Structure formats: C-alpha cells, structure tokens
Amino acid sequence: MRLLADENFHGDILRGLLRIEPKLDIVRVQDTDYHQAADPVVLEWAAKEGRILLTHDVHTMTKHAYDRIRAGLPMPGVIEVREDLPIGQAIKEILIIVLASSPEELANRITYIPLWRFLAASCASVCEGVAAALELRARPSGCVTSPTSQSCGLGRGAARRRPPGCRRWRPSSGAARRRCCRSAAPGGCPPPLGSPPRCPAPAAPG
C-alpha cells in the first residue's frame, strides 16, 4: 500500500505507523517537489503515483477529492483522520484500513477516521435510499406530495404568504412550490384551487 501524508498530517501518527509496520511505503508531501502546492495539484500527483492520501483537512482536501471523483478523474483514495483523535486510536484505525483493504477497494472514495463516522455516513445514505423507495411505493398515482410531508403547490399567481396553520415555511427546490413542514396544524396546508389530490396516509401493515 502506497501512502502520501499531507503537509498538515501529524508526525507522531506517521512515526507510530512505521514503528508497527516498517514496510509501509509512506511519503510526506513536504519531502517532494510539491511542498506547499495547492490541494488539486497534490491530488493529481497522488493519482499519478498511485498513493492514498492521509490528511486532517476535512474542508478543502476532501472537497477537491470529491470534485475529481465527479469529474471521472483517477483518485486513489483519501483517508481523512479527525485531528483531535488520540494518536494511538488514529494509528490503530489507519492500520485496520491499510492492512485489511486493497488499493482497488480504497480507490475513488474518502474514508473517515474514526471509523464510526464512516459507518454512520454509509448507513445514513442506505437508509435514505430505502426510505425514498418505500415512499415512492406508497405514493398513489397523481399525488404530488409524499405520505410523510405536507406540501402546498402554490403557483406563480398564488399569494406569497404562509398558509394558515404552518409554523415553518420554506421554499422547495423548484421555486414555484412551497412546503408546509410537519409542524402544520391538523389537516395541513389548504391546497390551492386546481391542485392535485393530497396523498393519503399509508395504510397500517397487515
């Protein structure tokens, strides 16, 4: 496994990794010609060298890594380690990832340490997908709202005021629609004239 340590990466973690696994191939950015280079340049060099990047930079480095993935550019992988994590725990979890994975398994992904953050993010993504699939199955034909939300389909000529009973009122992605949050009064938002029927509540299982 070939690794590249970002300039901000904790030296004690690197020394601990090499003390336990002396055969690890780790290069520090500051020891290359790319010292103080911009994040996209570092990621480009890591991709050419086939090195997985170790970093504490959760804000900019991970953003540029995701940009490369979206653009279809090679990205060997990034391991993002929370900076305030105890050194011993960081060493242990990095070794778990590096020794138990192949370079192909880490390519085009960002792995977060502590590992519970990565697992929580993965589970949340799966749960959102399952919930969306179940919601679509429960949505009758012709409905524009979901069984779990109250939506008001205000057209361009409708009043731009909060409907009665809605304590929170925010635009949805489409600008022509508005959504009444679940905090609405019983019955939800009154639909505008000519709007499609409201989705009924899903029937109780069996």
Q: Which CATH class is domain 2-122?
A: alpha beta
The long-range contacts involving 171-178, CB below 8 angstroms and separated by at least 24 positions, are 177/151, 177/152, 177/153, 178/151, 178/152, 178/154
pTM beyond 0.85, yes or no: no
Over residues 123-135, the pLDDT tens digits come to 555 455 555 555 5
In sequence order, what are the residues at sequence separation of 6 or more whose Cβ sits closer than 8 angstroms to the Cβ of residue 76? Answer: 2, 46, 47, 50, 51, 52, 53, 103, 106, 107
Over residues 136-154, the pLDDT tens digits come to 454 444 444 433 433 344 4
Domain with CATH 3.40.50 in the chain: 2-122
